[in-house]
Amino acid sequence: MNFASDNAYGAMPEILSALSAANAGAVASYGDDAITARLTRRLSDIFEHELSVFPVISGTAANALALATLTPPHGAILCHAESHIAVDECGAPEFFSHGAKLVTVEGDGAKLTPVSLAQALSHFQKGFVHHAQPATISLTQASECGTVYSVDELSEIGALARARDLHLHMDGARFANALVHLGCTPAAMTWRAGVDALSFGATKNGALGAEAVIFFDARVAADFAYRRKKSGHLLSKMRFLSAQLDAYLEDDRWLKAAARANALALRLAEGLAAIGGATLAHPVEANAVFVYLPDETIARLKKAGAVFHPWGAPAKDGRTLIRLVLSFATPESAITDFLAAAG
């Protein structure tokens, strides 16, 4: 009964097989290999756009490298107060960007809104050297609270970014979960809505450790290759990183895995609705359930062996907010057992 994170689970067997298949022979290193070329082609087809694709090994690396590419050292990055880049990356964006400033914005369900962004932007005077200069908006799709921006919501933020001459970055650590929830195309959820750079996640949804930083305009990505090398994120045996992503995308595996995780989350949420004292904190739109549970229920679940994290400060009414994350690989029995122990 492990709901601690989607990264608590391993990798898709097909991805492991792809590593073995990629092992044959001697090939050019550092990305000049056929598998990496195939991956770029495949992603460009999926996104209906020519892409600059840079595989890296972690979401923090993907986010920090992308943000540093979009944001000068004297720039500011607007993001949600609960965003991964603001809370859970130990200041990686500040390090990679050489001291850019993260400006945190509030909003329900860990989602930015044009209103909250405009309010935050009103504090910065353009061209005033004393102020960090807003350069980039970063949003997370699906969000850290398991909610999903609609295409309209994304497009509104994209329009705001364009109007203010800002770049738009999407942290897509759970990109597939958001995509299957919306049922739209990858193009609709990214460049058509104004996204300039995407951290395309695969690790949480079945890779061993593989993400791709994707740019929709090669000029924006001009110095990315140097940043990746200078930060130690260029792999010599790149084929093994690209092979993970390539197998992830092949045969719609990524979509099927995300659809399964999302469905499990909904089933768990429905089961919890029947539990006394349980209240969902956010709509369940991806693969995570945020629920207030009575502390005695939580104690019972822990005793039964359930693994999960409390989220934020305890509520004052004898209940605590917990996060339950579902994965492509979470066994269905985990849900049954959890609900049985909670009930």
Q: Could you say whether residue 229 binds a second copy (CB under 8 A)?
A: yes
Q: Could you say whether residue 316 binds a second copy (CB under 8 A)?
A: no
- Rounded Cα distance between 162 and 230, Å, is 30
Q: Could you say whether residue 89 binds a second copy (CB under 8 A)?
A: yes
Q: Could you say whether residue 333 binds a second copy (CB under 8 A)?
A: no
Q: Could you say whether residue 49 binds a second copy (CB under 8 A)?
A: no
Which of 19/159 has CB closer to a second copy? 19
- Least distance between a second copy and beta carbon 222 (Å): 10
Identify the residue among 51, 132, 189, 257 touching a second copy (CB under 8 A): 132
Which of 139/334 has CB closer to a second copy? 334
User: What are the DSSP calls for 271-327, one per residue?
Assistant: HHHTSTT-EESS---SSEEEEEEEHHHHHHHHHTT-B-EE-SSPPTTSEEEEEEE--
Q: Which stretch binds a second copy (CB under 8 A): 105-113, 231-239, 295-303, 335-343?
A: 231-239
- Least distance between a second copy and beta carbon 128 (Å): 9
- Least distance between a second copy and beta carbon 72 (Å): 6
Report yes or no: 141 and 178 within 8 Å, Cβ to Cβ. Answer: yes
Q: Could you say whether residue 7 binds a second copy (CB under 8 A)?
A: yes
Q: Could you say whether residue 315 binds a second copy (CB under 8 A)?
A: no
- Least distance between a second copy and beta carbon 308 (Å): 11
Which of 13/343 has CB closer to a second copy? 13
- Least distance between a second copy and beta carbon 268 (Å): 15
Q: Could you say whether residue 41 binds a second copy (CB under 8 A)?
A: no
Report yes or no: 210 and 55 within 8 Å, Cβ to Cβ. Answer: yes
Query: 164-197: string of b/e by CB count within 10 Å (b at 16+)?
Result: bebbbbbbbbbbbbbbbbbebebebbbbbbbbbb
Q: Could you say whether residue 20 binds a second copy (CB under 8 A)?
A: yes
Please enumerate in sequence order all residues whose Cβ is within 8 A of that of 134, keeping only pairs 6 or more positions apart, or say none: 75, 76, 78, 103, 121, 124, 164, 166
Of 138-197, which residues contact a second copy (CB under 8 A)?
none
Cα 330 vs. chain centroid, distance in angstroms?
A: 19
